[in-house]
C-alpha cells in the first residue's frame, strides 16, 4: 500500500450530477485525495461549498476544457458525463502523455478491451495499477455479483428483473425521474437490449434477459435473478457457495433472507440473499441489492481509484 504525504489531486468533470455530488462527499473524508478541479458548465464560477457543504471552502466550479484540465497536473481525472462525451477527454489526455489516471463513469469504454473494467470483487489483482478505468453500470454491478458465483453452472439464459430508484434516470427531467409521474407507480422501460444487459453478457459470457423498472423511491436498486443450472443444488448449498465465493470481501454481504433496499441505501455495500432453489434444484433465484449512486457508481469509482493509486481499497469508503 502506498502512503503519500502529499495528497493526490483529483479533477471531477460533470460535478453537478448525482454521482458527482456523492463523490465530492466521499472525498471530503479521504485522507490521501483532494479535489483540485471541479467542473460544471451550469455552475461555472460559483462556490462548490454553496452546493456541497462538505467541500473545502474556496473551491469554485469551472467550465473546464480537456486542455485546461491537463494543465492542472492532476493525478486522477473522473469523468461523470452523459454517455458519448468521454472520448474527447480521454483522447486529449492520451495525446498529452498525461500521467493521470482517467476513470469514466459512463458506458463509453465498458466494451473497450484497452480499458480496465473496474468491478474489484470480480477482477481485482494485487498488481493492478491501471491508468484507464471504466466504472461498471449500477444494474450491471448488481447482476454480475448475483450471477458470477454460479457462472460455470449455468444451463441457459439468466432472467433478471430489476427495480431502481429514479435517481438512476439522471438529473435531466423525464417521465422516469418525475416524482409526480412515479407516485404509486412502477415504470418498465428498455425491456430488451438494455446496455446493462449487453454489458453483463459480455463480461460473464452468458445470455442475459434483463427487464428494468423505475420505482418511486430516490436511490437503491434490486435485482431478482433466475439462474437455470446444469446440476441440481439446494438453497442451503447455494448460500454456502456464495458465502465462500465472497469471503473476505468488505463491501459484499451475504444473508439467507432476500435483502431489502432500505438496508443498503446510503451505504457502499451490496447485499446478496434470498437463495431459493426450485423443487428439482435445477433453478436458483437470487436477490442482489445496492445503492445505485454508491456501490453502483461513486464508491465503486473510489474503490478503483484507491487501487490504482496503491492505497487501501476501502480508504474514504468505510
pLDDT digits (tens, 9 = 90+) for 265-310: 999 999 999 999 999 999 999 999 999 999 999 999 999 999 999 9
For the chain, the average pLDDT equals: 95
pLDDT in tens, 208-256: 999 999 999 999 999 999 999 999 999 999 999 999 999 999 999 999 9
Residue 137 is given by DSSP the state: P
| pLDDT (0 to 100) of residue 174 | 82
Does residue 168 register a pLDDT over 90?
no
Phi, psi angles (nearest 5°) of residue 187: -110, 115
Model pLDDT, residue 275 = 98
Bigger pLDDT: 4 vs 267: 267
**Cα separations (Å) of 268 from 28, 149, 290?**
16, 21, 8
The CATH number that domain 138-290 falls under is 3.30.360.10
Check pLDDT > 60 for residue 94: yes
- Output the CA–CA distances (angstroms, integers) from residue 86 to 66, 118, 237, 288, in the order listed: 10, 16, 43, 29
Read off the pLDDT band of 140 (50, 70, 90): very high
CA distance linking residue 262 with residue 250, whole number of Å: 19
What pLDDT is stored for residue 171 in this prediction?
78
CATH topology of domain 8-135+297-309: Rossmann fold (3.40.50)
User: Helix 195-204 vs helix 138-147: angle between axes, to the nearest 10 degrees?
Assistant: 40
Measured distance CA(283)–CA(267) in Å, rounded: 30
Question: What percentage of the chain carries pLDDT values higher than 70?
Answer: 98
Query: Given pLDDT bands bounded at 50, 70 and 90, which one contains residue 125?
Result: confident
Per-residue model confidence as pLDDT tens digits over 182-200 = 999 999 999 999 999 999 9
CA distances, 312 to each of 2, 32, 101, 226, 308 (Å):
8, 10, 17, 35, 10
Rounded mean pLDDT, 152-156:
98
160 catalytically annotated: no
The one-character DSSP state at 131 is S
The pair phi, psi for residue 79, each rounded to 5°, is -105, 105
Question: β-strands 270-277, 283-290: how paired?
Answer: antiparallel
Q: Can you tell me the mean pLDDT for 55-82?
A: 96
Q: Could you give the C-alpha distances from 119 to 4, 16, 116, 124, 284, in angstroms and in order?
A: 25, 24, 9, 7, 23
> Quick one: pLDDT at residue 4?
53
Which of the two residues, 125 and 29, has the higher pLDDT score?
29
pLDDT (tens digit, 9 = 90+) per residue, 38-63? 999 999 999 999 999 999 999 999 99
> 318: Cβ–Cβ under 8 A, 6 or more apart, which residues?
250, 251, 268
Output the DSSP codes for 237-297. Answer: HHHHHHHHHTTT-TTEEE-SSPPPGGGTTTSS-EEEEEEEE-TTSSEEEEEEEE-TTTTTT
What is the pLDDT, as a whole number, of residue 175? 85
**Which of the residues 78, 138, 272, 294 is marked catalytic?**
138
* Domains of the chain, residue spans: 8-135+297-309, 138-290
Confidence band (pLDDT; 50, 70, 90) for 129? confident
Please determine, for residue 2, whether its predicted confidence score (pLDDT) is greater than 80: no
Q: Give the sheet arrangement for strand 187-188, strand by strand.
A: 187-188, 208-214, 158-164, 221-228, 283-290, 270-277, 252-254
Rounded Cα distance between 212 and 140, Å, is 11
Amino acid at each position: 500500500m502506498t502512503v503519500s504525504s502529499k495528497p493526490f489531486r483529483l479533477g471531477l468533470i460533470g460535478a453537478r450530477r448525482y454521482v458527482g455530488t456523492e463523490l465530492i462527499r466521499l472525498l471530503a473524508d479521504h485522507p490521501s485525495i483532494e479535489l483540485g478541479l471541479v467542473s460544471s458548465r451550469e455552475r461555472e464560477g460559483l462556490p462548490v461549498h454553496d452546493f456541497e457543504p462538505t467541500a473545502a471552502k474556496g473551491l469554485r466550479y469551472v467550465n473546464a476544457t480537456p486542455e485546461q484540465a491537463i494543465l492542472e497536473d492532476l493525478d486522477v481525472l473522473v469523468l461523470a458525463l452523459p454517455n458519448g462525451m468521454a472520448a474527447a477527454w480521454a483522447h486529449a489526455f492520451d495525446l498529452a502523455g498525461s500521467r493521470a489516471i482517467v476513470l469514466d463513469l459512463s458506458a463509453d469504454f465498458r466494451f473497450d478491451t484497452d480499458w480496465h473494467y473496474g468491478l474489484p470483487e470480480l477482477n481485482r489483482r494485487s498488481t493492478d495499477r491501471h491508468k484507464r478505468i471504466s466504472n461498471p453500470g449500477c444494474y450491471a454491478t448488481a447482476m454480475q455479483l448475483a450471477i458470477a458465483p454460479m457462472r460455470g453452472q449455468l444451463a441457459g439464459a439468466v432472467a433478471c428483473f430489476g427495480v431502481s430508484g429514479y435517481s438512476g434516470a439522471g438529473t435531466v427531467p423525464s417521465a422516469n425521474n418525475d416524482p409526480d409521474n412515479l407516485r404509486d407507480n412502477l415504470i418498465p422501460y428498455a425491456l430488451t437490449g438494455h446496455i446493462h444487459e449487453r454489458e453483463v453478457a459480455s463480461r460473464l459470457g452468458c445470455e442475459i434477459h434483463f427487464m428494468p423498472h423505475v420505482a418511486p423511491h430516490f436511490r437503491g436498486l434490486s435485482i431478482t435473478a433466475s439462474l437455470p443450472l446444469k446440476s441440481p443444488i439446494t438453497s442451503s448449498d447455494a448460500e454456502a457457495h456464495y458465502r465462500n465465493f465472497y469471503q473476505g470481501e468488505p463491501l459484499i454481504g451475504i444473508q439467507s433472507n432476500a435483502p431489502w433496499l432500505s438496508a443498503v441505501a446510503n451505504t457502499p455495500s451490496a447485499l446478496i440473499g434470498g437463495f431459493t432453489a426450485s423443487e428439482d434444484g435445477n433453478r436458483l433465484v437470487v436477490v442482489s441489492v445496492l445503492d445505485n449512486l454508491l456501490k453502483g457508481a461513486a464508491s465503486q469509482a473510489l474503490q478503483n481509484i484507491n487501487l490504482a493509486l496503491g492505497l487501501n481499497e476501502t480508504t474514504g469508503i468505510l
